[in-house]
């Protein structure tokens, strides 16, 4: 076992039975696994105690890296943007995808992150935040720090799912930037109310239409399958999800797929204590940029 190898109690049970001919209960296997992982990764309590030292070392060895930390009775927040990501922003499209994913360590919490793509359509991680909960407070704090580093471009667009706290935090912080909605998440929300109807193809045709005329053509096709769908979509501003009405360039980024792919990439890392998680993210980001520079 190492700090990233997936290992569940059933693996421990099978290992002990095959290699040592010993029967181990599930409870004992689980406790043994926890002890082994703590000895390898350290405890969550020790990890939080090392956070300040980790931040100092990160800034010292990566000049230009931006970090912020806040701890109060309302929650614990840790923001990190590496200098490589900050420099790369100058060569990226001004469209950012944001999302959040649950942590799986002892104290749980959320990992909030922002990504974009460069002009070669490669994923560029921009910023990461560890928070207690995904709520208005945590998203507002995230956007405030994100704006300090990346928010000077008046053409910026931030794309996300329809989570209300993301919208609330965005509206508090930004005046000139625009908030776009992920077409895939919007479709999934529609599908909940129209499970038996074939609306996927006409809906996505609406989102990808280049002109208002073509948009209306596909909307009428959507009406044919489900007349009530139009009324649901009219409650959402068209420029937030339909290409024909975009007020700024979105460079074909109509979903949060890049965030979802990173969510999968960090699946195992999200089980680590907070310092191990941030260290894993740093290593991944630096590896990607190094490989791109040496191609």
Q: Residues 37-94: pLDDT tens digits? A: 777 766 777 777 788 888 899 999 888 999 998 876 655 678 899 998 999 998 898 9
For residue 177, tell me if it sits in a domain. no
In this predicted structure, the answer to whether residue 190 has a pLDDT above a threshold of 80 is yes
- Whether residue 200 sits in one domain with residue 162: no
pLDDT surpassing 70 at residue 139: yes
For residues 84 and 29, state if they share a domain.
Answer: no
Beta-ladder partners of 160: 181
Residue 251: the pLDDT is: 84
Pair (129, 52) in one structural domain: yes
Q: Are residues 209 and 90 in the same domain?
A: no
User: Which pairing describes strands 178-181 and 66-72: parallel, antiparallel, or unpaired?
Assistant: unpaired
Q: Say what the pLDDT of residue 35 is.
A: 75
Range with lowest mean pLDDT among 43-57, 92-106, 134-148, 159-173: 43-57
- If 0-12 CB within 10 Å is exposed, 13-18 middle and 19+ buried, where does residue 161 land? buried
pLDDT of 115 reads 93
Domain containing 206: what range? 183-254
- Note whether residue 3 is domain-resident: no
Q: Is residue 26 predicted with pLDDT exceeding 60?
A: yes
pLDDT of residue 169: 95
Give the pLDDT of residue 2. Answer: 47
pLDDT of residue 75: 54
Confidence at residue 96, expressed as pLDDT on a 0 to 100 scale:
93
Mark whether 295 and 282 lie in a shared domain: yes
My answer on whether 137 and 278 are in the same domain is: yes
What's the pLDDT band for 253 if we cut at 50, 70, 90?
Answer: confident
193-213 average pLDDT score: 87
> Is a pLDDT exceeding 70 seen at residue 4?
no
Inside any domain, residue 1: no
| Mean pLDDT, the chain, integer | 86
Could you tell me which residues are beta bridge partners of residue 117? Answer: 123
Q: Please give the Cα distance from 21 to 25 (Å, whole number).
A: 13
Q: What is the pLDDT of residue 5?
A: 52
pLDDT confidence of residue 126: 94
- Domains identified in the chain, total number: 3
For residues 47 and 69, membership in a common domain is answered with yes
Q: Does residue 186 register a pLDDT over 80? A: yes
| pLDDT classification of 216: cutoffs 50, 70, 90 | very high
Sign of the alpha-carbon dihedral angle for 200, 201, 202, 206 = positive
- pLDDT-based confidence at residue 257 (cuts at 50, 70, 90): confident
Average pLDDT estimate for 203-210: 92
Q: What is the mean pLDDT of residues 269-278?
A: 87
For residue 6, the model assigns a pLDDT of 53
In a domain, 27, yes or no: yes
Q: Do 132 and 143 share a structural domain? A: yes
> What percent of the chain is modeled with pLDDT above 90?
39
Six token digits for residue 2: 């190492």
Residues with Cβ < 8 Å from 162, sequence gap 6 or more?
A: 181, 182, 185, 186, 189
More confident residue, 38 or 104: 104
Looking at the structure, do residues 87 and 25 belong to the same domain, yes or no?
A: no
User: Are residues 57 and 153 both part of a single domain?
Assistant: yes
pLDDT for residue 78: 85
Give the Cβ contact number of residue 247 at 10 Å.
11
First-to-final CA distance of the chain: 33
């Amino acid at each position: 076992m190492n700090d990233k190898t997936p290992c569940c109690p059933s693996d421990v049970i099978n290992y002990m039975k095959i290699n040592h001919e010993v029967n181990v209960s599930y409870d004992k296997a689980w406790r043994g696994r926890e002890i082994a992982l703590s000895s390898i990764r350290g405890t969550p309590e020790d990890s939080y105690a090392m956070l300040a030292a980790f931040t100092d070392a990160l800034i010292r060895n990566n000049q230009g890296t931006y970090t912020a930390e806040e701890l109060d009775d309302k929650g614990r927040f840790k923001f990190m943007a590496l200098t490589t990501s900050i420099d790369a922003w100058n060569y990226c499209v001004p469209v950012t995808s944001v999302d959040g994913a649950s942590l799986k360590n002892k104290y749980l919490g959320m990992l909030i992150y922002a990504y974009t793509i460069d002009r070669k359509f490669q994923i560029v991680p921009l910023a990461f935040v560890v928070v207690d909960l995904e709520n208005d407070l945590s998203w507002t704090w995230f956007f405030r720090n994100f704006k300090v580093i990346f928010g000077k471009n008046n053409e910026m667009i931030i794309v996300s799912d329809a989570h209300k706290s993301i919208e609330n935090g965005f509206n508090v912080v930004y005046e000139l930037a625009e908030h776009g909605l992920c077409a895939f998440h919007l479709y999934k929300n529609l599908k909940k109310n129209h499970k038996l109807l074939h609306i996927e193809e006409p809906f996505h045709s609406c989102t990808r239409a280049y002109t208002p005329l073509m948009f209306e053509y596909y909307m009428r096709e959507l009406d044919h399958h489900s007349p009530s769908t139009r009324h649901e979509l009219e409650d959402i501003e068209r420029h937030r999800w339909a290409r024909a009405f975009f007020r700024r360039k979105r460079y074909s980024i109509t979903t949060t797929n890049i965030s979802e792919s990173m969510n999968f990439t960090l699946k195992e890392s999200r089980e680590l204590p907070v310092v191990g998680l941030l260290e894993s993210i740093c290593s991944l980001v630096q590896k990607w940029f190094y490989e791109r520079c040496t191609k």
